[in-house]
Chain A
Amino acid sequence: MDCQEIFETLSEYLDEELAQVKCRELERHLKTCHNCRVVVDTLRQTVSLYHSIPCERLPDEARLRLHKVIKLK
């Protein structure tokens, strides 16, 4: 696997959906390729940062307005 091919499979790798053989090949490549390793680590960090953002809270007034519009109350 070269850098080009690796680049296209990184999300599958992070989501643990990559076939084992390819996975091992990719990990071997990462040991020697600085740039691919950086992209993997920062891509993983990107996904994890977005996972970590708390939910945007629905403001109480907006909740009340919704209930009024759909005639709940």
Chain B
Amino acid sequence: MKLSVPTDEELITQIREGDRTAFEQLVSRYEDRVYNLAYRMLASRQDAEDVLQDTFLNVIRGLDKFRGTSSFSTWLYRIATNAALTKIRKRSRREKSESEFLDDVYAVKRAARAGAVLPDWSANPATRALDDEARRQMGEAINELPKIYRAVFVLRDVEGLPAAEVAEVLGLSVPAVKSRLHRARLYLRNRLSGYFTEEIEGI
């Protein structure tokens, strides 16, 4: 009797042979991760649930075409990310344009060049035990990122995928992933600066 945990690829073979419990195992292995990814990209439980369902329905439809050229998890992340991006596109909320976004990203550079002394909030006690408001601010900040920056940031810094895998999921080059990640982080840093600096000044 085989006691080791089956790999994703072994489960897929079993699913193709008509084994329903193998599909159950695959779903339970990934459902939480897909939900978390979708929730971070959309900041809405309802939208995250829709994306979760769309993702696994697309997995069922596409499984025959899955050739294993990338790993199953990369393929799944691609489906889930695309489902989340589609959901963002359908929203009526206006997205920041690339130039507005970059203007915000580089505001700190302009301020420094103009002689401003930047506030250091990195040791603010509020960052040690995040309260609900801080978490809400952080979630909202992700939602202000243009789609592709949001996808890169969530996959890399929230889900913890290596840059090369993020590149594969999104069909980008590794340098493109890294430059988008850097800009996304700079934007979020600026955004959290506003929040955590006020917190310091409020004391």
Interface residues, chain A, with chain B CB atoms under 8 Å away: 3-4, 7-8, 10-12, 34-35, 37-39, 41-47, 49-53, 55-59, 62-63, 65-67, 69-70, 72
Do B189 and A65 touch across chains, with their CB atoms under 8 A apart?
no
Do A56 and B39 touch across chains, with their CB atoms under 8 A apart?
yes
Shortest Cβ distance from residue A14 to the other chain B in the assembled complex, whole angstroms: 8
B148-203 residues at the A interface, CB under 8 angstroms: 153, 157-158, 160, 178, 181-182, 185-186, 188-189, 192-193
Interface residues, chain B, with chain A CB atoms under 8 Å away: 20, 23-24, 27, 31-33, 35-36, 39-40, 45, 48-49, 52-53, 56-57, 60, 108-109, 112-113, 116-122, 127, 130, 135, 138, 153, 157-158, 160, 178, 181-182, 185-186, 188-189, 192-193
Do B56 and A35 touch across chains, with their CB atoms under 8 A apart?
no
Q: List 8 A-B contacts (CB under 8 A).
A: A11-B181, A46-B185, A47-B185, A53-B130, A56-B48, A58-B52, A66-B52, A70-B27
Residues of A within 8 A of B56 (CB): 66, 69-70
Do B182 and A10 touch across chains, with their CB atoms under 8 A apart?
yes
With A35-B117, A66-B56 as contacts: A45 and B127 at CB distance below 8 Å: yes
Do B189 and A43 touch across chains, with their CB atoms under 8 A apart?
yes
Shortest Cβ distance from residue B11 to the other chain A in the assembled complex, whole angstroms: 14
Residues of B within 8 A of A7 (CB): 109
Residues of A within 8 A of B192 (CB): 42, 46, 49
CA distance A57 to B27 in the complex (A): 15
Do B109 and A70 touch across chains, with their CB atoms under 8 A apart?
no
CA distance A55 to B100 in the complex (A): 30
Do B49 and A65 touch across chains, with their CB atoms under 8 A apart?
yes
